[in-house]
Structure 1
Amino acid sequence: MQKATDIDNTKKFNELFSRLSSNSADEQKRAIEEINEMIIEMNEKDSNLIFTKELFDKMDKMIEEKEICLENAFVLLKSIGCWNVLKNVFNYGFYESSLNQRFKKMIIEEELKKEEKEEKLLVDLFECFIFLNFCFPPNSLSICVPCLLKSSSNKEENKDAQTEVEVALIALSGAGYCYVERELYLNEIKEIIEYHKEHHNLTRIAYQSAWMFLIKRIIFENSLEEIIVNELHFGREAAKELEELSKCVDGRRKEGWKGGKETKEELLLMKWIETLWVYFFHCKLWNEDFADLINSLVRVFRIAKDNHREIRKECIYVLEEAARNRSVTVGDLLVSGGAVDAFLEEIHKSTMDDKITIKSLEFFFNISNRLKKEDDERKEAKRKAAKRKVLEKMEEEGYEDTIFCFKGMLYFLCMNYEHRMACNVSYYFVNV
């Protein structure tokens, strides 16, 4: 049953949307600005109720009958799409709509032109298609990716150019996993990242999006790891971004903020944490920046743990993935105030939910696997030293009590979340 607030939001949006078909182009722009402000305030539930197949079908009809100009339709659709990517929200309204079919047809027609193509139109079509489908247009990679990267390479120092670059990079980052030949993107995306490191010309979301697009390509081409890790120094750059963005969360903590609407900086912090998960999941090349990067993530976790549950939870997921990644050393996780300390703090909480419990147990399970005996004498010496440090930290935190607390709920967790976990929870701790 819909709540009154849900009905009010839907009604307000529909009223604003209905104004588009009866106004001039300039009046439409003003109405779209109001709609954009409303979109920024939306939550996922609002999105699913409002951005339906019927809405996009109606927009398609308005374009057909020239009740809204294509330029204004693009502005509105990009606003919806950017919001989707920023908040990781996907609904099927556009995918199933006649407007989606219209855009597919327009892309094909433009690509088939023998004379010079309308590049601006293609960029607009590509961006809207990617934002609302979360994928590249089929059979268009060889045109789509270079086209968007060219738009992303605009170095003009004005707000319109910065917005153009930002939207193109967000679209590229939100297109999911798809094989793209490195000749189509590598030099361009490297130049975009390197130019920003020197001139700071990108917005924060644009910079994160450039990295996300590049890191997703590792799944198809392992050789990119050397470029990302040692040439472009992702770890160092990501740590700096985490430190800066965490200040907005820290400020709220100092003010005693408890819950409520996220700021743009907090949403962007979540996007960087998501990028780190993708990075640790795919990248297997060690770098000395890992320890600082992990510690920056732990600092975000500690800042957020009392007043931002989602950020705290995402940090836990990334740290568990880092422990699973064998290119991250146990030493990287053991640095004073680091990941091991964070998990030991977390598992003492009475308010842990089941998924966080699983991630905590998996973290120690992964460390246990990493501390198995080595044949090489030098590696064995390092292993024993690391094992000693882990045990000392656990003893300081009273891990025996934690084991006892987990035993009562382990059967439920195994049955409902992680079937492959051992039945004896002490395995995750004692056998370290």
Structure 2
Amino acid sequence: MSTTEKFTKLFSELKGCDEDDQRQKIEEMIEILNEMNIDEMDNILNMEIYDEIDKMIEEQKLPMEEATSWTKNIGRCKALKSLHNNCFDGSLLCIRIEQIIVDENEKEKGEMNEKLLIDLYECCFMMYDHYLPHDFLSLCIPCLLKVSLKKEENEEAKKDVEIALLALSSFALWETLEQELYLNEIAEIIQYHQEHHNLTQLAYQSAWQFLMILLYIDKSLEEVIVNELHFVKEARMELEELEKSVNWKRKEEGKGKKEEKEVWIIKRWIQTLEKFFLSCSLWNEEYEEIIGSIVGVFRASKDKYREICKGCISSFRGVVVNRYAKIEGLLKGGAVDVALEEIIQSSFDCSQIEDYLYFFRDFCSRLKEKMENESDEAKRKEMKRKVFEKMEEEGYQDWIIGFHRCVYERKSYSRFLTEDIEDYYVFI
């Protein structure tokens, strides 16, 4: 049986089970979700599933406590693998959870079920795919940060902190949040870990991802992120440690859960770095080093995990389109080299060629921008020369001419990519 068939079979058996059997089957379903790839998860986690869970609660065939724990675990799988499919939003289970949250918050302070509220807040953050309203965020962010501030070393506390931070890294934001809601707390969480290493790798990555969501809206956070919390240095160390811990050469049938989780954490770091590159205005030599670390991940993952390569190229493009970024870091860090190697080796039907073309189009555009400062202009010309020589050595221009003839003249490629062949060239 496929993983999807196993999941469906277990789900269909839930109604006729007692609580112990239900709990066992739910644990098995969560394990199956952990093993699924993102496409399998997208297919199985539909609105019908959530409505059916709600129906079992309504018919008293599934305790609310068990349903909440189950939903939180589904949310964890969704958040870890960055699945967005909008199926939970508006489902009957979603409506029920929202109402319970409202009811609990209307109670007097001493009557509130705080543990239930934390569980439901985590469910909402990890399950929702739409923007959450400001009033809701101002209620639950301080609550989840309070959980994340736990400093106990036992495994249960670490697990609580990890899920709270994973939830905080999963919400969508469309307006600025008051910094007093979160900044002191998240800074304390990150700095305490830097001194004591109390967080799991996923929890630490999630803490940073939470800050990147906020930075994307509030650029005033960059000073704290870069100069006080030392994001670039920390991200580089984490990425390099994770890369070393994965057996990239393993056979597919030999996958281990620990290794698989580390691969997902690497994917999340790459996504976090892309957000940062798009948002940052402070730029120094550390950025070249982290470009080199991303290049290392690219080379290690390209035989088994093409989606990681796609993320790496997207992060490089985040540097290119950010007008504050110094693009020589892409040359010194090796990003131009790996992009050239890949695009030259690819066949014309490669699904990822578009990402490389976007990168080279934008990179070449930046190289053509003249600098006002005489010294900077000299550096730009020298960089153009080096890039031109690399492209000439790899046969890049011949490839572009062939690609243009085969694809653009048939009008069969993306309408967002320019048809002017010179946009993908560097001239010296």
| TM-score calculated relative to the size of structure 2 | 0.90
Show the counterpart of 1:421.
418
**Which secondary structure state, in structure 2, belongs to the residue aligned with residue 223 of structure 1?**
helix
- Whether contact under 8 Å (1:330, 1:386) holds in the other structure is no
RMSD: 2.6
Matched, 1:114 2:111: no
Alpha carbons of structure 1 residues 416 and 365: separation in structure 2 relative to 1, 3 Å: closer
Deviation of 1:403 (Å) = 2.9
- Whether contact under 8 Å (2:169, 2:206) holds in the other structure is yes
> Taking every aligned residue pair, what percent have the same amino acid on both sides?
44
Match of 1:130 among 125, 132, 141: 125
- Whether contact under 8 Å (2:387, 2:426) holds in the other structure is no
In the alignment, the residues of structure 2 paired with residue 378 and residue 230 of structure 1 have an alpha-carbon distance, to the nearest angstrom, of 27
In the alignment, the residues of structure 1 paired with residue 42 and residue 424 of structure 2 have an alpha-carbon distance, to the nearest angstrom, of 41
**Residue ranges of structure 2 left out of the alignment (5+ in a row):** none
Structure 2 counterpart of 1:143, one-letter code: L
CA deviations over 1:102-141 (Å, ceiling 9, x no partner): 1111111222223333321211111112222135654312
In the alignment, the residues of structure 2 paired with residue 320 and residue 171 of structure 1 have an alpha-carbon distance, to the nearest angstrom, of 28
Matched, 1:387 2:384: yes
Show the counterpart of 2:198.
201
In the alignment, the residues of structure 2 paired with residue 391 and residue 168 of structure 1 have an alpha-carbon distance, to the nearest angstrom, of 48
Show the counterpart of 1:266.
263
In the alignment, the residues of structure 2 paired with residue 205 and residue 299 of structure 1 have an alpha-carbon distance, to the nearest angstrom, of 20
- Whether contact under 8 Å (1:410, 1:423) holds in the other structure is no
- Whether contact under 8 Å (2:85, 2:129) holds in the other structure is no
Deviation of 1:217 (Å) = 0.8
Match of 1:69 among 36, 54, 63: 63
Show the counterpart of 1:252.
248
Show the counterpart of 1:56.
50
In the alignment, the residues of structure 1 paired with residue 186 and residue 393 of structure 2 have an alpha-carbon distance, to the nearest angstrom, of 47
Residues matched between the structures, number = 422
Show the counterpart of 2:149.
153
Deviation of 1:162 (Å) = 0.9
Deviation of 1:14 (Å) = 1.9
Deviation of 1:319 (Å) = 1.4
Show the counterpart of 1:43.
37
Matches within 5 A, 1:396-411: 396-411=393-408
In the alignment, the residues of structure 1 paired with residue 155 and residue 190 of structure 2 have an alpha-carbon distance, to the nearest angstrom, of 19
**Which secondary structure state, in structure 1, belongs to the residue aligned with residue 359 of structure 2?**
helix
Q: Which runs of 4+ in 1 moved over 6 A?
A: 258-262
In the alignment, the residues of structure 2 paired with residue 106 and residue 343 of structure 1 have an alpha-carbon distance, to the nearest angstrom, of 50
Structure 1 counterpart of 2:117, one-letter code: L
CA deviations over 1:227-255 (Å, ceiling 9, x no partner): 11222111111111211222244x232x4
In the alignment, the residues of structure 2 paired with residue 328 and residue 44 of structure 1 have an alpha-carbon distance, to the nearest angstrom, of 32
Alpha carbons of structure 1 residues 259 and 280: separation in structure 2 relative to 1, 3 Å: farther
**Residue ranges of structure 1 left out of the alignment (5+ in a row):** none
Q: Choose 355-364 or 71-80, whichever is displaced more.
A: 355-364
- Whether contact under 8 Å (2:86, 2:129) holds in the other structure is no
CA deviations over 1:359-380 (Å, ceiling 9, x no partner): 3233233233323222321221
Structure 1 counterpart of 2:24, one-letter code: R
- Whether contact under 8 Å (1:104, 1:137) holds in the other structure is no
In the alignment, the residues of structure 2 paired with residue 57 and residue 140 of structure 1 have an alpha-carbon distance, to the nearest angstrom, of 23
Match of 2:160 among 161, 164, 171: 164
**Which secondary structure state, in structure 2, belongs to the residue aligned with residue 394 of structure 1?**
helix
Matches within 5 A, 1:218-297: 218-249=215-246, 251-253=247-249, 255=250, 263-297=260-294
| TM-score calculated relative to the size of structure 1 | 0.89
Matched, 1:374 2:368: no
